[in-house]
Structure 1
Amino acid sequence: MRITILGSGDAFGSGGRYSTCLHLVRDDGTTLLVDCGATSLLALNRAGIDRNAISAILFTHFHGDHFGGLPFFLLDALFVSRRQAPLVIAGPRGIEERARTVTEAAFPGFSTNRWPFEITWQEIMPDAPGTVAGAAITAFAMVHDERAGPCLGYRIAADGKVFAFSGDTSWTESLVPLADGADLLLCECYTYDMPLKNHLDWQSLSARLPDLRAGRIVLTHMGPQMLERRAETGATCAEDGMVLTL
């Protein structure tokens, strides 16, 4: 499994980073996006990624910096990429309704277009794991903002490897089983020492790192304070365009 971090930024584009978007390619070439934030089409184009090769998009929650790129992805699929292949759009409970709402808000009347490709809507929840683009997906409840949720973290298992992604969250004990035995945990860390109710800070996270038994841990979704002090952590921090191979 190869993971390209197309976007590692926060909602404000701190440090000039793109919104959250992860590009996963399985050993057989099957491709999955995890989150598709507002700037993701820019990131996909800059990286030269064929959007028609993407089999599915899996969303962690419904904030714009994770979900807001979907209308642009679908607009591109219809008018630029001329997509013909089926597309799976997966995520928390309510994914279809949320997707239709955000797409119609971005481009009024867009829902009346005739789609030349099939869209399958798939809900993934802690009590309802599933398979997306050939990968086994297990969801864990995160603590972020239920107005944009349910907010989930995922274990994505494929090719004998496990990739874990926290999505957005403050500290929750659910991070422990999310990380347990994963080959890689990509974990948000928004601030260095400023506790927030909806995000992780480095001081809180570092105190619990021994409990996160993943082979590797990479930090992402860093705000200005964390970006300024990330060298002090000694941790591996995500960058736009970083490639991680499992």
Structure 2
Amino acid sequence: MFDICLLGTGGMVPIPHRYLSSLILRYNGTTLLVDCGEGTQVPIQQLGWGFKGISAILFTHYHGDHITGLPGILYQMLNAERTEKLTLMGPVGILVLKSIVDVLFKKTPFEIEFLELKSGEEIKIGDIVVKAASVLHTAPCYAYSFEARRLPLFDVEKAKKLNIPVRFWNLLQHGQVVTYQGCVYTPDMVLGEKRKGLKISYSTDTRPTKDLVELVKGSDIFIGEGMYGDNADAEKAREKCHSTFFETANVAKEAGVGELWLTHYSPSMLQPERYIKNATSVFPNTRLGKDLMTRSLRFRDK
């Protein structure tokens, strides 16, 4: 299963009953955290997934509401007696976080790696494939997609007819060519059709862009910017490089996603449900994100 939890849904500052925007994902033994604004350690504790297993923290950008919870997260990891390396990654400027960590923590019992990602770069963390794309905000900012990919079906009967030793089956399924006793076996000889994996995309603090549409295309769930619900705030959204419900719903529609979760609400928008129709009129399968909203996705075959 590919588990996801929207830890918080607020933008700019936390308010009562709304934590700052953050996402946590886990798949096949790998857990990733995306952004950690002030107080993010609290919903992680409420969720109960723990701190020790977080392999990496990805940052969309370095505004305060996305990074000020990092010290609290690191303290929790120290309390959990973590020894495994932690990777912090994001757009240009990641060394700003290093200076904060160096001041607050003279030494940690685990290595902390700071990794600057390039837009369009695709990396694999455990079995999760992560891709970053630049979006349009007032500072360098990334949206991310997270994929759990599946190997094609392996045709056992074909392999047996070709007398391919069992010890080579795994290599062929993973796309490797095998030469054995003068015979060359290629993956296409034993592999069936491709199988659809699972894809989650996450984006806050942006205007709608073509690069964003391309990144989130085909996502099972797209978690997107919902700073403003009222269409009357469209001009404000343009000025501050944010998006309205209506605009993000258009991204979801154009990208052909399965479901849209809105998040990163303005602290002045106390009742997002008042504006949900501005999104569902464009993309019916829209949900208002809520703190600790959780979903477990499973692979589906035809």
Normalising TM by the smaller chain, what interval? 0.7 to 0.9
* Identical-pair percentage: 31
Equivalent residue letter for 2:104? F
Paired position in structure 1 for 2:6 = 5
Alignment partner, residue 289 of structure 2: 238
Tell me by how many angstroms 1:239 deviates. Answer: 0.5
- Deviation of 1:178 after TM superposition, in Å, equals 1.6
5+ residue gaps, structure 2:
150-196, 281-285, 298-302
Give the corresponding residue for 2:60: 60
Q: Distance in 1 between matches of 2:24 and 2:59?
A: 12
Matched, 1:121 2:114: yes
Equivalent residue number for residue 274 of structure 2: 229
Structure number with larger C-alpha Rg: 2
Query: How do 1:210-229 residues align onto structure 2 when only pairs under 5 Å count?
Result: 210-223=253-266, 224-225=268-269, 227=272, 229=274
* Counterpart position of 2:42: 42
Give the deviation of 1:122 after TM superposition.
2.0
- The CA deviation string for residues 154-191 of structure 1, in whole angstroms up to 9 with x for no partner, is 11112421111113212222221022111111111111
* Amino acid paired to 1:6: L
1:131 and 2:124 correspond:
yes
Hey, what's the Cα distance between the residues in 1 that align with 2:250 and 2:90?
30
Give the structure 2 partner of residue 82 of structure 1: 81
Distance in 2 of aligned mates of 1:81 and 1:60: 26
Q: 1:153 and 2:143 equivalent?
A: yes
**TM-score, length basis structure 2:** 0.72
Deviation of 1:14 (Å):
4.6
DSSP-derived class of the 2:55 partner: strand
- Is the CA contact (8 Å cut-off) linking 2:3 and 2:296 kept in structure 1? yes
CA distance in 1, matches of 2:40, 2:12: 12
Aligned to 2:133: 140
> Secondary structure of 1:176's match?
helix
8 Å CA contact 1:230, 1:237 repeated in 2: no
- Pick closer, same or farther for the CA change 1:208–1:151 going to 2, 3 Å: closer
How far the C-alpha of 1:12 sits from its partner, in A, is 2.3
> Map of 1:197-212 to 2, 5 A cutoff?
197=239, 198-212=241-255
Contact 2:213 2:251 in 1 (8 A): no
For residue 29 of structure 1, report the CA deviation from its aligned partner: 2.6
Partner amino acid for 1:76? Q
Q: What amino acid maps onto 1:161 in structure 2?
A: L
Contact 2:273 2:288 in 1 (8 A): no
Q: Residues 88 and 132 of structure 1 are in contact (CA less than 8 Å); yes or no, is this contact kept in structure 2?
A: no
Paired position in structure 2 for 1:98: 96
* Partner residue in 2 for 1:51: 51
Tell me, in whole angstroms, the C-alpha distance in 1 between the residues paired with 2:105 and 2:50.
Answer: 24
User: How far does the alpha carbon of each residue in 1:119-167 deviate from its partner, in whole angstroms, 9 at most, with x for none?
Assistant: 2222222143222343211111111121xxx200011112421111113
Q: Secondary structure at the match of 2:52?
A: helix
Question: C-alpha distance in 2, partners of 1:204/1:30?
Answer: 33
Corresponding residue pairs, total:
235
Contact 2:11 2:265 in 1 (8 A): yes
Moved more, 155-164 or 227-236: 227-236
Q: Give TM-score scaled by structure 1 length.
A: 0.87
C-alpha contact (below 8 Å) 2:39/2:72 kept by paired residues: no
Q: Which letter maps to 1:11? A: M
